[in-house]
Amino acid sequence: MELSLTTPALLFPAISLLLLAYTNRFLALAALMRDLYARYTAQPSPIVRGQLNNLRYRIVIIRNMQFCGVASFFFCVLSMFMLFAGQPIIGTWLFGACLILLLVSLALSLREIQVSIDALNLQMHDIDALP
């Protein structure tokens, strides 16, 4: 298979938008975590504590998503450089690594969505407990 310089370049907008979405998700969770922390310190509750633990876990997942996304972007650029420098075999292997890291990032994103649903269920349990 012949890999041209334009093939890795096709991933640039996708990876960039993905990293932007991850950053926005992180910022939203950080703000929510600060609010819940203030609520918990004012009036401790096991439900809020559970939500904070859930958010802590989600932040770790998002950090790993971002790491894999940035590493994927790095390998994509490096792949283009190697193709440009006339090293197609190295460029192809680097592009393969880029794709694998992108897959890992997306798999982590799926996991974070699952954990997010657990957080919503925890919130709904809190509402169900009200009279």
Per-residue pLDDT tens over the stretch 9-38: 888 889 989 999 999 999 999 999 999 999
Contacts of the segment 85-92: beta carbons below 8 A, 24+ positions apart: 88/2, 88/3, 91/3, 91/8, 92/1, 92/3
Greatest Cα-to-Cα distance within the chain, rounded to the nearest angstrom = 70
Q: What secondary structure letter does DSSP report for 43? A: S
Task: For residue 4, give both structure tokens.
Answer: 């041209």
pLDDT at res. 10: 84
Q: What secondary structure letter does DSSP report for 3? A: P
Q: Encode pLDDT of 59-95 as tens digits.
A: 999 999 999 999 999 999 999 999 999 999 999 999 9
pTM: 0.84
Whether 128 has a pLDDT exceeding 80, the answer reads: no
Instruction: Enumerate residues 6+ apart whose C-beta is below 8 A from 11.
Output: 72, 76, 98, 102
Contact of 119 with 58, CB cutoff 8 Å? yes
Is the CA virtual torsion 63, 65, 70, 75 positive or negative?
A: positive
Whether 126 has a pLDDT exceeding 70, the answer reads: no
pLDDT band, very low/low/confident/very high, at 124 (cuts 50, 70, 90)? confident
